[in-house]
Structure 1
Amino acid sequence: ALAITQHSYAKLEPDRMGDIAALSEGEGALTTSENTTKEKKNDCDFVLWKKSKTGEPVWQSPWGLGRPGWHIECSVMASAVLGPQFDIHTGGIDLKFPHHDNEIAQSEAYFDSDSWVNYFLHSGHLTIAGCKMSKSLKNFVTIQQALEKYSSRQIRLLFLLHSWSSTLDYSDHGMEKALTYEKMLSEFFLNIKTHLRSLKQLNHSSAYTKFEEHDLTLNERFSTIKKQIHIALCDSVDTPTVMENIRQLISAANIYMNSTNITINRLLLRNIAAYITRLINIFGLNSTSSSDDIGFTRSGEQQASAVNV
């Protein structure tokens, strides 16, 4: 195992250094077979170069004919394209150790650097109705199969309602939450457009009205939520918090619109709707967008089930 003063091993998960079970899961027979263990100075050493089996790719090397180990393949491909240092390396949470830790160890040793990658982003797994997706369980669902049942917008909503770094379960129950959220957005935009129709009939000066106390209250809530959404997006792209804040903003706007004995400030409502529309455009919930559009675009609704996720 790497033990040089200027470099360290298992940077991502230092507590798992020496974890033979994890190494075995990552490298299989390369860790556990009797012949391999005899050739190692340390049981925790991982393979950089291995002898090719019949039918496998083969290259000449100082150690004879063989091919790169799994970890070195990724280090070489990434560095060949991005150079000796780059910003973001991604992968599933199961690759954190040993794969990514091994990539770091060999790359930083080769480049004599203590920072090969600035940020690692590890995504959570996708499960199907609580089970790991696999052909053996016959619960394998392709994107095209999912699109036969749900629109691309609805599937994107499912992902937005969950953290990218946590396990996501694709199930009817999970999709029901996405459908409910989509319905909430659609009804909100419909109500907003109803109020905005009368705004078009007003002249430019009549459209602007002084904020009353109830207007100020909603506008203050709007400002607070915008700040919270910005903070959430800066915090490891926390989309579940963003979606919850959008829900709270819509709830506040609905209460405002349904209030009796008050004059509705339609420009304030339009600003709120335009802000939410901008967010759903950024999140890819509209296939097309225009600066003048509010809500889901008509073309997006028509193409929703045909667009790839």
Structure 2
Amino acid sequence: MTASPSRLTTLRDYIRWAVSRFHEQQLFFGHGTDNAWDDARLLVLGALHLPWEMADAYLDCRLEEDECQQLNALLRRRIEERVPTAYLLGEAWFCGLPFIVDERVLIPRSPIAEYIERHFAPWLPKTPARILDLCTGSGCIGIACAYEFPDAEVVLADLSFDALEVANRNIEQHELEGRVYTVQSDGFDGLPGQRFDLIVSNPPYVDAEDFAGMPEEYQHEPELGLACGADGLDLVRRILAEAADHLSEDGVLVVEVGNSQVHVQALYPEVDFTWLEFQHGGHGVFLLAAQQCRDYQALFRQRIKAR
């Protein structure tokens, strides 16, 4: 697979060559890009610490031999091992912000980013003083919320100690130690008595059928962050049953369930979920007001017991 540095000499050469190989080997793109050209450009420029928005004229710059060797090694891993580009670079972007990522956490890609940037308008009745990012992973959702709500205290909660180590590195990178902190928690178990004005969660929600058919790239991500039972809702059921106990009077719950939206709707046909619409792509994110969580709490608890 290795390209000869004597034949590939410029950034443009490597990007073009990578696009051809990515198509030839039928790689999957879904971890920050959706096509071979963007993925190749991100990998080549990112590996050499060059900005994505760099003018195309610089693509004809010749590379040093050590740079060619570095690119050859990374491209080999991307193609032969199907390692997602974000893991190869150790960085992913979310809400226009850089985040440290490795194989201990999912690669940020939630469509919730669109609503974070919109301050969850028109759904939040007031500016939140306390925010919970439940199942935080890298911390990207909670940290992005901290930027948009600069006076809010933000809690990043996750079951995985490994994930929380990454989240803490991101808190430090963004210099938010004063009002963003991590808590080890299985669902809400590690947050007794705590209430929040906004709870945002991108929990594991992939059902067994979808998980079995996922492209190889997803096998590099932690299974704990993806799969969650036959219908993908093992944790979502718990979140719904307990959310009312952790929301403030006018709080809001936002949960991403992706393709498992069909299972949510089948399991709770009585519940008037607000399914958010996205201008930039995405689906399967519901919103409930605190009052709805209280009104339906008995039902949510019943559906857990009925399993």
TM-score normalised over the length of structure 1:
0.24
User: Hey, which of these two has a bigger chunk of strand by percent?
Assistant: 2
TM-score normalised over the length of structure 2:
0.24
Of structures 1 and 2, the larger Rg is shown by: 1
